[in-house]
Structure 1
């Protein structure tokens, strides 16, 4: 039995969705964020030294990081039609997007979140200054980088509607969080191909079941 240590409103939701798509048995241990800091609770640090989610455990195996979890589930339990045949371009694309999602896509989105929230932590006296610095950073660097990625996704999805091959794969589940986050924070949901992609994945029964089991998820 797979145990998923699941933090609300986090990347962990993708793991629940994958397990539902594959019809695997699993249990969920939920963790709530601190309402003020939005950080993970101490209980999650007892599971992983960095307090990160997702983390899964199966027998004596414990794995963190979404991409590594996806690869473990694929290699241990199989992914059926959601993993293209080895050696094909579609299979290589899956590998690419599994790494890209956290390696390249999330960096500018995280910066956007940080600079958006930065003025909130400043004193009333310093807030106008901090807000001005944050706005300049967003305009000069962060927003242009985010737009580059959003343009990239939109152009890619205009081909088959999916990230690897012509049907839902591990790549699409992995990429769901960057697209959902960008739709919430950067207007990516206004792009036609991205909006269509999000509409289709949100309508999937497995996605809906994962939401029921995972609890609060602000990006759906």
Structure 2
């Protein structure tokens, strides 16, 4: 049976959701982050050398990276569902969003998280300096970059309809869920009604709700 090596509060929640949409039987091997460092436990390295989640094992195959896993699941079990017809403009958009989510959108979100943590956790004596440097980097680099990406996403939904790859919900929407939920948890979707509505609609999907029940608490704030 297909096994999801699931780390709490991680990208592997998307994999559970995709499997619920597909209706594919699976089992979960659970891993918990270190409460202090928030890093994955070393035991994940036994499954994949990088020791990160998500990782899926299906028979003799071990797959890592969210986008690659979702593509594999849709191609193997989708029977034409959750992906536009190959060779169409919608398929090109679909492929683009599968890669964009981690390749372009997540890096500035991670930078913001890192600099937020620097401000919160720097030693007391250097905290004023650390906060000043962090604030300047966010003002000059991180915040404008995030705004550009979120404005872009908002305009794409405005121009192309309810879903990112076309008229129908697809694995591209699943892939984009993690960074957009992370942005929402940081209050970055204000005055972006299309993204806000998209997020509401994905979170109301029965398969999304079932995945939360399977995966356990999911908090990106």
TM-score scaled by length of structure 1: 0.96
Of 185-194 and 106-115, more deviation after overlay is shown by 185-194
Aligned counterpart, 1:191: 192
Match of 2:6 in 1: 6
User: Any stretches of 5+ residues in structure 2 without a counterpart?
Assistant: none
1:33 and 2:33 equivalent? yes
Distance (whole Å) between structure 1 residues aligned to residue 187 and residue 144 of structure 2: 11
Deviations 1:94-140 (A, max 9, x none): 11001111110101011011011012332110011101100000001
| 166-175 or 183-192: bigger deviation | 183-192
What is the CA–CA distance in structure 2 between the aligned matches of 1:88 and 1:128, rounded to whole Å?
Answer: 53
1:140 is matched with which residue?
Answer: 140
Greater shift in the superposed pair: 76-85 or 87-96 = 76-85
| Cα deviation, residue 175, structure 1 | 0.6
Work out whether 1:214 is the aligned partner of 2:215: yes
Greater mean alpha carbon deviation, residues 70-79 or residues 167-176: 70-79
Instruction: Report if aligned partners of 2:4, 2:56 keep a CA contact under 8 Å in 1.
Output: yes
Alpha carbons 1:73, 1:79 under 8 Å: kept = no
Q: Distance in 2 between matches of 1:219 and 1:33?
A: 13
Spell out the pairing of 1:1-220 with structure 2 (5 A cutoff): 1-78=1-78, 80-159=80-159, 160-188=161-189, 190-219=191-220
- Structure 1 runs of 4+ aligned residues shifted over 2 Å read 78-81
Secondary structure of the structure 1 residue equivalent to 2:125: coil
Please, what is the CA RMSD of the aligned residues?
Answer: 1.4
In the superposition, relative to structure 1, how do residues 52 and 189 fare at CA in structure 2: closer, same or farther (>3 Å)?
farther
The 1-side partners of 2:86 and 2:71 are apart by 13
In the alignment, the residues of structure 2 paired with residue 67 and residue 205 of structure 1 have an alpha-carbon distance, to the nearest angstrom, of 22
Distance in 2 between the 1:183 and 1:190 partners? 11
The CA distance in 2 between the partners of 1:11 and 1:168, in whole Å, is 19
Cα deviation per residue 1:166-191 (whole Å; 9 max; x = unaligned)? Answer: 12001100111111011112522541
Aligned pair count?
220
Given that 2:11 and 2:54 are in contact with CA atoms closer than 8 Å, whether structure 1 keeps it comes out as yes
SS at match of 2:124: coil
Cα distance, 1:19–1:79 mapped onto 2, change above 3 Å: farther
